Amino acid sequence: MTVVTIVADHPLVLDSLARIRDVKTPNALFRQNLERIGTLLIAEATRTLPSVSGNVTTPLADAAAERIAVQPVIVPILRAGLGFLRPAQELLPDADIGFIGIARNEKTHEPEPYVNKLPQNIGERPVIVVDPMLATGGSLVHTLRLLVERGARQPMTVIVALAAPEGIAAVEASGIDVTLFTAVVDDRLDHNAYIVPGLGDAGDRQFGTPA
């Protein structure tokens, strides 16, 4: 199976995608619409989470109820992945959160890890990796390999706002089974490994350009 790509073409997703692409969109509005995309994609991606049947007592009577059977592990890739953290926590407040920090070397375009804080008890729990951009795939593949080493089950779920074909190909080449949810698959990467047409640097447009 390796990579199954699901493009969520919901009108609300596409509306927010147009806003975050726009070079004139200020940081605050960019963050707001990125979170909106995150909420909608996470809701779609968690549609198949296993549930357990039970009962709940309403003010009038007992009623059948379904609850999430196993809380997932959410892994944002820092720093841009923080843009999807709040919607993930709002939808899955009991989920554990792991953090992987990876910077991109602007000369080699290779990932440079700097944070690895994953929960110990991943086991058989569903894993959802979130990062707004899938460009070269280097950061994502590094993260997926760390999760496999921790015993994460496959396929893992990956949620991005934009993906490049080169990034999808890199994940496929890794041999790790992934279900990828995205708002769009863009045309290509440019010579600086930025997604085209893309939206620029997702981290900078959320948090400002670092000195």
What are the residue ranges of helices labelled H in 79-137?
A: 85-91
Pairing of the two strands 99-104 and 111-117: antiparallel
Rounded-to-integer distance, Cα 182 and Cα 158, Å: 8
Q: Which residues are catalytic?
A: 104, 108, 201, 204
- Which amino acid, one-letter code, is at 30? F
- Per residue in 125-141, is it b (16+ CB within 10 Å) or e — as a string? bbbbbbbbbbbbbbbbb
Rounded-to-integer distance, Cα 157 and Cα 179, Å: 5
Rounded-to-integer distance, Cα 179 and Cα 1, Å: 9
What are the residue ranges of helices labelled H in the chain?
A: 11-21, 27-45, 85-91, 138-149, 165-174, 202-207
CB 183 within 8 A of CB 15: no
Rounded-to-integer distance, Cα 75 and Cα 146, Å: 11
Please, which residues have CB within 8 angstroms of residue 144's CB and are 6 or more apart in sequence? 129, 156, 158, 171, 174, 176, 178
